[in-house]
Amino acid sequence: MPTPIPTPQPDSPAPRPKHFYTSLWVQVSVAIVIAVIFGYLSPARAVAMKPLGDAFIRMITMIITVMIFCTVVTGIAGMQDLRKVGRVGGKALLYFEIISTLALAVGFFVGNVVHPGSGFNVDPKTLDTRAVADYAGQAKAQTVTDFLMHIIPTTIVDAFAKGDILEVVFVSILFGFAMSAAGAHAKPLVTILESLTKIVFRMVNIVMRFAPIGAFGAMAFTIGKYGLSSLGPLLRLIASFWITSILFVFIVFGGVAWVAGFSLVKFLLRIKEEILLVLATSSSETAIPTLMEKLEALGCSRSLVGLVVPTGYTFNTDGSSLYMTMAALFVAQATNTHLTWLQQMTIFSVAVLTSKGASGVQGASFIALVGTLSVIPTIPVAGMALILGIDRFMSMFRALVNMIGNGVATLVVARWENELERDTLQRNLA
């Protein structure tokens, strides 16, 4: 019997090439450009777009705490060596303290060299301080003990209800250790949490489809509310801070990346969507979910990413550190307040602590700065009214530096831990 000739099967259709306009970073870029034009031409209508940005930020923050909990818990529970958790945390905190203190010092250096507040000759009595008073009411003197006590939530549920990232990390670490100690008894729960993690990241992908709308709403509100004309009188301060931030990223972070064995430019290209999103929303928290996802894709372990990134958003606020020291000197210079080196060192020392509370939420750095200036009675806190109107524009770059700094820190700690080879990282970045 002759062997039947097989019927030729049609070739499977080749995957359709993606059009450039389907890329998220292109969509966000276009949304930002349209928002700037819309805000300039129709300020009143642009201000009404604020709920679009607020809704997107709220959707992101809604997911963050659950995502961090699942990531940290499953990461620790799956570790063979629990001592690695303490080792990674110690290395991360050491790195955070060195870089953020350097950022404070750079801000002081630029403020003393450029003198962005010189020539204003402002009488604090003529300023409208009502808006600043609202921030001053939120700024409280915080001791080291207060800061450490703040890490511990009142209840486990309270940490998630308030959305406090540091409290959630604390609860997650304890829960992860407990599950690891339980051994086989915790295996069913680990499986459930791993499945939940996959679902949460699917939620992130769904929410990120609304990123262009959120970016449009946030940027349109900023331009419509404050206007490009508001930048004029304070252009020296804004330009000084923006240029300092850019140089800090490429010189300091670039140097750190070079020592760690990867290209900063390639990393920035990898996170271009997050960069645009942070610039539009003035909040680094909007980038946390996708930043963590991309760091894992580059080869960092889930447990390390879950520990370093969320903790960095409290302890590694490099952009906020740059802003606080520069803005403090600006207020003193604008109000003709002479500061001795001892007073400047006092501000520096206080800012080391208060900057740790200036996390990704827009406006937190302004509150922290008001609290910092309160320790030097000779500096009129009313002078903060000068920069209140442009704080949103300053917040864009300080949030951006915070986000990039935490991404670089995660890769550095991963390389420090020898869990990510140089060749592997370079290949993944390429």
Distance between CA 389 and CA 220 in Å, rounded? 16
Output the CA angle 243-246-247, nearest 5 degrees: 85
Cα–Cα distances (Å) from 114 to 117, 219, 244, 267, 325, in that order, read 9, 29, 11, 31, 13
Give SS3 for 10: coil
Whether 61 contacts 312, CB under 8 Å? no
Domains of the chain: 22-429 (1.10.3860.10)
Whether 96 contacts 313, CB under 8 Å? no
pLDDT of 401 reads 93
Distance between CA 252 and CA 408 in Å, rounded? 11
- DSSP per-residue letters across 285-335: GGGHHHHHHHHHHTT--HHHHHHHHHHHHHH--HHHHHHHHHHHHHHHHHT
Which amino acid does the sequence have at 148?
L
Distance between CA 421 and CA 430 in Å, rounded? 14
pLDDT of 360 reads 45
Distance between CA 104 and CA 197 in Å, rounded? 37
Tokens of 236: 């020296």
Whether 163 contacts 61, CB under 8 Å? yes
Kind and range of the H or E element at 251? none
Strands (E), 223-279: none
Distance between first and last Cα of the chain? 56
The reply to whether the predicted model has a pTM over 0.75 is yes
- DSSP per-residue letters across 363-386: THHHHHHHHHHTT-TTS-GGGGHH
Nearest to 171 by CA among 60, 289, 73: 73
Tokens of 92: 């991360």
Per-residue pLDDT of the chain (430 residues; tens, 9 = 90+): 455 555 555 454 555 556 656 677 788 888 888 988 998 888 889 889 989 988 888 888 888 888 888 888 887 776 666 777 778 888 988 999 999 999 999 999 999 998 888 877 777 666 655 656 555 555 555 556 766 777 788 888 888 887 777 788 888 888 888 888 877 787 888 888 888 888 988 888 888 888 889 889 888 888 888 777 666 667 888 899 999 999 999 999 999 999 998 999 999 999 998 998 888 888 888 888 889 889 999 988 888 888 888 888 878 888 888 988 898 888 888 888 888 888 888 888 878 777 765 554 455 666 677 767 777 777 776 777 777 777 778 888 988 999 999 999 999 999 998 888 888 888 888 8
Burial (0-12, 13-18, 19+ Cβ within 10 Å), 24: middle
Which amino acid does the sequence have at 167?
E
Whether 285 contacts 360, CB under 8 Å? yes
Strands (E), 56-173: none
Kind and range of the H or E element at 398? helix 391-416
Give SS3 for 157: helix
Residues in the chain: 430
Number of alpha helices (DSSP H) and beta strands (DSSP E) in the chain: 22, 0
Nearest to 165 by CA among 414, 399, 358: 358
Distance between CA 46 and CA 37 in Å, rounded? 10
Displacement of CA 368 from its chain's centroid (Å): 16
Strands (E), 22-154: none
Whether 406 contacts 316, CB under 8 Å? yes
pLDDT of 159 reads 81
| Whole-angstrom Cα Rg for the chain | 24
Distance between CA 270 and CA 268 in Å, rounded? 5
pLDDT of 54 reads 86
pLDDT of 295 reads 92
Burial (0-12, 13-18, 19+ Cβ within 10 Å), 96: buried
Distance between CA 280 and CA 276 in Å, rounded? 6
